[in-house]
Structure 1
Amino acid sequence: MIVVAGESLIDLVPQPGGEGRPPGGESPPPGGGGLPTLLPRLGGGPYNTAVALGRLGARAIFCSRISTDRFGDALLAGVRAAGVDTSLVVRGPEPTTLAVATLGADGSAGYGFYAEGTADRLFELPPPLPDGVRAVAFGTCSLVLEPGASAYEALLRREAGRGLLTLLDPNVRPGLIPDPDAYRRRFAGWLPQVSVLKLSEDDARWLGGVPQGPLAVVLTRGAAGLSVRTREGVEVSVPAVPVDVVDTIGAGDTVNAALLHALAARGALAPEALGRLGADDWRGVLDYAARAAAVTCSRTGAEPPYGRELG
């Protein structure tokens, strides 16, 4: 069983052809002041990872604090529809975090966040995790926004100390980080408790390079594919799967889920088992993650694949 701990939010995704015309379809005002049409989509890095795990067929639990507003109801329904256990979800009356996405010509996404006073920021350290949990995944806004960030950090340290496999995807959002140097120091302090570190190339550049320490570091390189380097000296790369990219929202989160699901299939959801994987094992894990991410990139918003779509 895999626990995913972190935020859920609503992505507001611009729609193709929806720019330049105000709501109602009337002509834009002089000077071209029309607004883009934004479609609300269920999201948040950890939330997407939990949904992807459920769709792939993994036994997953989402650990978070979700608003009691209508967006929160939709988020809870969405993760349950994926078959994810929500027994570690706490509800709160504060509003849901919003993330306004901007899409580049290549489908890459940037974000602006409306996160002040939102429900997920008030996450508190949960009681001991259920028996049968083998891994815990962390990432994104939940490790930045206080006071919840300190509670998630405490959960990471507690569960790593119990011998569970941990996956960290910092999924760096610079606009949310008021003191980059302080965040980088804090990030370095997490690494001794991290089994698998997943970074994008943008994350690595912002952090100042690919760090040492975790048992395995997986680097996503967009159209160039994925690579892994392990503490035992295994280094493997696989190409990306060609696909017509609609957008990249949720692709990295899908990689997180696919990595964990593929490791579970190999009996490697434990730090000591992870260290025994060889190059062929890792090639199979990365290939599965690349195929899963390609499906997500072919769809609008974070819509990870179901296991049956990957064969």
Structure 2
Amino acid sequence: MIVVGGEALVDLVPVMADDGAPALRPALGGGPFNAAIAAARLGARTGFLSRISTDGFGDSLVARLRAEGVDLGLLQRGDELTTLAVADTSDPGAVQYGFYVDGTADRLITDPGALPDEVRAVVFGTVSMVLEPGASVYDAVLAREAAAGRVTVVDPNIRAALVDDPAAYRARFAERLAHTTIVKASIDDIAWLTDRPEASTFDDVAPTLLAWVDAGVEAVVVTLGGDGIAAITPAGVVRVPGVAAEVVDTIGAGDTVVGAVVARLDLEHDLTVAGIASMSADAWADVLGFAAKAAAVTVSRPGADPPRAAQM
């Protein structure tokens, strides 16, 4: 089983009401929530580790996970409110968010202890890796599961508005690398993490990715928008082109890549640290191409709506 840990929240997405007035439509989301659903829809047995509110939004989040076949054995519930994220979709290619997070349920998760033996990989990212006290809990799980020999995946998915101390967060991310098998990041994520706002291409960030590999990461997967996906892997640099799609919005595209990568590794390759270390360039091209195709489906429809296996 693949366990995805992190927040489940509600995106408030701008829409036009029937009377022509601006309105906000609630949409279930959160990077880890979306990644878990993507992996489950693509056929991987997937579990979710989080704390979700018992309010109406929380009930809807749990119902969606259950309907998608995500295992809820590690899920915690609390009477705190659900985190809200207000989406700014004025630029469909670069959605921005404002957050309401004070005292919300997902940041108050408690340590679940050692995960079940059936777990093959754990995935973390986004808001949950920033907000305390939950961030420290997820860091403890990340380190413990890495020490147990499981595949660990981190998607920083930077939300700069939530980071009070960028230098401290960058140092913390660097510490996580020693416990991480795969990093998935966008160019914007990497530019922020290295405090190099001018970085805009894969070539610009490649030296940073090599440093991450030297720090212990087996592979770094980099999303390039419409230009596809590239990765620095044990087999060298592997790059696949983007899949043509009419972009409706990009909400959930990166999360879909995370879910698709771990699902493909699990179902078609070898989702172990040793297996990932020994993958060929052709095998990585298969994984990245699958993820690019999945992301193209997601951006072609509104909201975070990853494809199912039959649509691939």
Normalising by the residue count of structure 1, what TM-score does the alignment of the two structures yield?
Answer: 0.92
Deviation of 1:128 (Å): 1.8
Q: Which of 162, 166, 169 is 1:180 aligned to? A: 166
Q: 1:106 to 1:120 in 2, by over 3 A?
A: closer
Larger Rg: 1
Alignment deviations for residues 65-121 of structure 1 (CA, whole Å, 9 cap, x no partner)? 000000000000001111100110000000000000011334321000000110011
The residue aligned with 1:30 is: none
2-structure distance, mates of 1:161, 1:251: 30
Query: What is the distance in 2 between the residues matched to 1:256 and 1:301?
Result: 16
Structure 2 partner of 1:4 = 4
| 1:107 and 2:93 are equivalent in the alignment | yes
Query: Alignment partner for residue 25 of structure 1, among 9, 15, 19?
Result: 19
1:234 and 2:230 are equivalent in the alignment: no
Superposition CA RMSD, Å: 1.3
Which residue of the partner structure matches residue 147 of structure 2? 161
Give the count of matched residue pairs: 295
SS of the residue aligned with 1:87? coil
SS, match of residue 287 in structure 1: helix
Deviates more, 1:168-177 or 1:259-268: 259-268
Cross-structure match for 1:299: 301
Counterpart-to-counterpart distance in 2, 1:24 and 1:236: 47
Please name the residue that 2:257 is paired with: 255
Partner of 2:138 in structure 1?
A: 152
C-alpha contact (below 8 Å) 2:235/2:280 kept by paired residues: no
Letter in 2 for 1:283: A
Give, in whole Å, the separation in 1 of the partners of 2:267 and 2:50. 26
User: What amino acid does structure 2 have at the position aligned with 1:51?
Assistant: I
Looking at structure 1, the residues matched to 292 and 90 of structure 2 have their Cα atoms a distance apart, in angstroms, of: 21
* Residues in 1 aligned to 2:5 and 2:149: alpha-carbon distance in whole angstroms: 17
Deviation at 1:37, TM superposition (A): 1.6
Counterpart of 2:114 in structure 1 is 128
Partner of 2:183: 197
Aligned ranges for residues 53-64 of structure 1 at < 5 Å? 53-64=39-50
- Which residue does 1:13 correspond to in 2? 13
Q: In structure 1, how many angstroms separate the alpha carbons of the residues matched to 2:264 and 2:39?
A: 10
Question: Residue 286 of structure 1 aligns with which residue?
Answer: 288
For structure 2, the residue ranges without an aligned partner over 5 or more in a row are 195-204
Q: Secondary structure at the match of 2:32?
A: helix
Q: By how many angstroms is 1:159 displaced? A: 0.3
CA distance in 2, matches of 1:61, 1:105: 33
Instruction: Spell out, residue by residue over 1:18-49, the C-alpha distance to the aligned partner (whole angstroms, 9 max, x if none).
Output: 2xxxx7838xxxxxxx6x32111110000001
The alignment partner of 1:304 has SS state of: coil
Q: Aligned equivalents of 2:167 and 2:304: distance in 1?
A: 30
Q: 2:269, 2:239 → 1: CA distance?
A: 21
Which 4+ residue blocks in structure 1 deviate beyond 4 angstroms?
none
- Structure 1 residues not aligned, in runs of 5+: 27-33
Corresponding residue of 2:78: 92
Give the counterpart letter for 2:228 in structure 1: G
